Each structure stands twice: as structure tokens, then as C-alpha cells.
């Protein structure tokens, strides 16, 4: 017979068994972008281990008596080492309580969720993943930038600004064919722009930095690879930022104006 397990059943453990640890995506910041599964998981949580960028409105969805532990992960400022987070997750899971590991964006994209999942599974702890809206999708929607567009970008490539060796892992594909999105690049905008130009992108390639994407305090800085670092330094503050580069970024002013004219 086919497996008739409902997705909601993944939040519960059979009688007599410890519940699985839930790796939950908190999305890019706006609480309205949480999935229903994420909300249900938080509402039943007894322990929540959360990243520093997860906002209070999202944390408030957990019961008042739930234990909340900030593990402090954000770009360039980790108050708790990954090994310590892994150990803490395991310790909380072994108490038999419902543990939610709440991660910004999606748990398995640049969040080291795979490492946490492997650590728990290696010690016999079941893990379920509830995906979240990643920042590239949330920020693109908020700014009106299509990540793909016929004739301009046949795909989208997601990068981290912090490779294991400290470099910029931009890969080997033709950067011009895809919209490029760089996570955790707040302090490396100039280096990202320089690396992309060295890889062959023209200096006049449109570039956008979105700070505090999807939140009420969202700010955007639009420029080109040649001047985006200088513009961002002058126009933005120190909030978490996403970098978007490519010909589709040049459509943003047109789309935003059309939306305004139509009353959206």
C-alpha cells in the first residue's frame, strides 16, 4: 500500500519514542513568509534553539514556557561555535522534549543544517526538516527583481561570500548567463564586485544590495559592479545584506514603477 503519512504527522513521534528534532526554516525575516508547517512546529515546541537574526515576532509563536536559546549565528559573528551548537542540540534532544532548531532562511542552504542533521543522526536522533523561504526568493520578490528572465538570465546561482578557505567560491560557470546572488556579503561587497569583474562581467553590470530584506526597515542600493561598494557604504547601514548581480537586476526600476502606476 502507498505511504499515507501526512506531512503534519512528521511533527509527532509514535508513543514511547522521542520526537524528532525539527530543523525549521524561519525565512528571510517577515513572519508572514513562514510556512504553515513552521508555525505548527513552533507552536508545539518545548525547546527552541534560534539564530541571532530570527526576529521576536517569529519567536513569539512558541509557547511562553518554551525554553529559548540563542545560538548567535550571523555572518562574521558567531557567538557559539558549530561544534558547540551540535552538542547542545544533542543534549536537548536527549531530554525527550520537542526541540526546534530555528534557522534563518532555509535550514539546508548556507545554514550548516546538513552538519547538524548528520551529527544528530550519527547519535541515533531522528531529524525532520521543514524548509523555509530563502533570502534570494524573499528579497527578489520584495524588490521586484526576476531571478530568471527570458533573454537575460537562464538561471540563478547562489553563492556564499565566505568559503572555507576565506575566498569567494564563485564556481566556474559563465556568470553572465545567470543572475548571481551572494549571501552573507555585507563586509565583502567590494571583493565580490572585483571578483566578478575579474571573471569577465562588465563593470556596468547592474548590482543591487538589499539590507534587512522583507522587513519594514528594508533598504536597497542599486548600482553597477563598478560603483556598488561605494554606493552601499554611503547609502546603507550595517544590517544583514544580500547582493544580487546580473542583467535582470536592471529591470527593478521598471517593475517598481509599473507596480506604483498600477496601484499595487
List, by residue number, the catalytic residues. Answer: 51, 73
Element spanning 40, H or E: helix 36-43
Taking phi over 0 as left and psi of -120 to 50 as alpha, with beta for the rest, 147 belongs to alpha
Interatomic CA distance for residues 135 and 114, integer angstroms = 18
Phi, psi (degrees; rounded to nearest 5) at 19: -70, 150
Whole-angstrom CA distances from 24 to 41, 101, 131, 153, 237 are 8, 6, 6, 31, 29
Interatomic CA distance for residues 225 and 206, integer angstroms = 7
List residues bridging with 178 in a β-sheet: 155
* 207, 245 Cβ separation under 8 angstroms: yes
Amino acid at each position: 500500500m502507498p505511504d499515507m503519512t501526512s506531512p503534519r504527522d512528521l511533527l509527532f513521534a509514535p508513543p514511547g519514542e522521542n520526537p524528532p528534532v525539527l530543523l525549521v526554516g524561519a525565512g528571510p525575516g517577515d513572519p508572514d513568509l513562514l510556512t504553515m508547517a513552521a508555525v505548527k512546529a513552533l507552536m508545539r515546541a518545548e525547546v527552541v534553539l534560534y539564530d541571532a537574526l530570527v526576529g521576536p515576532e517569529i519567536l513569539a509563536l512558541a509557547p511562553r514556557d518554551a525554553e529559548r536559546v540563542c545560538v548567535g549565528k550571523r555572518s562574521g559573528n558567531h557567538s557559539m561555535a558549530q561544534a558547540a551548537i551540535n552538542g547542545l542540540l544533542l543534549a536537548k534532544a536527549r531530554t525527550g522534549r520537542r526541540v526546534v532548531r530555528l534557522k534563518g532562511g532555509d535550514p539546508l542552504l548556507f545554514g550548516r543544517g546538513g552538519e547538524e542533521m548528520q551529527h544528530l543522526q550519527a547519535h541515533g536522533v531522528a531529524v525532520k526538516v521543514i524548509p523555509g523561504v530563502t533570502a534570494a526568493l524573499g528579497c527578489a520578490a520584495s524588490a521586484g527583481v526576476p531571478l530568471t528572465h527570458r533573454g537575460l538570465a537562464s538561471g540563478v546561482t547562489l553563492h556564499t561570500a565566505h568559503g572555507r578557505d576565506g575566498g569567494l567560491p564563485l564556481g566556474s560557470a559563465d556568470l553572465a548567463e545567470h543572475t548571481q546572488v551572494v549571501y552573507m556579503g555585507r563586509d565583502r561587497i567590494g571583493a565580490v564586485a572585483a571578483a566578478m569583474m575579474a571573471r569577465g562581467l562588465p563593470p556596468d553590470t547592474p548590482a543591487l544590495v538589499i539590507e534587512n530584506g522583507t522587513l519594514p526597515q528594508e533598504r536597497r542600493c542599486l548600482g553597477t559592479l563598478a560603483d556598488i561598494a561605494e554606493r552601499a557604504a554611503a547609502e546603507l547601514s550595517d544590517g544583514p545584506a544580500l547582493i544580487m548581480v546580473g542583467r535582470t537586476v536592471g529591470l527593478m526600476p521598471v517593475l517598481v514603477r509599473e507596480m506604483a502606476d498600477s496601484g499595487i
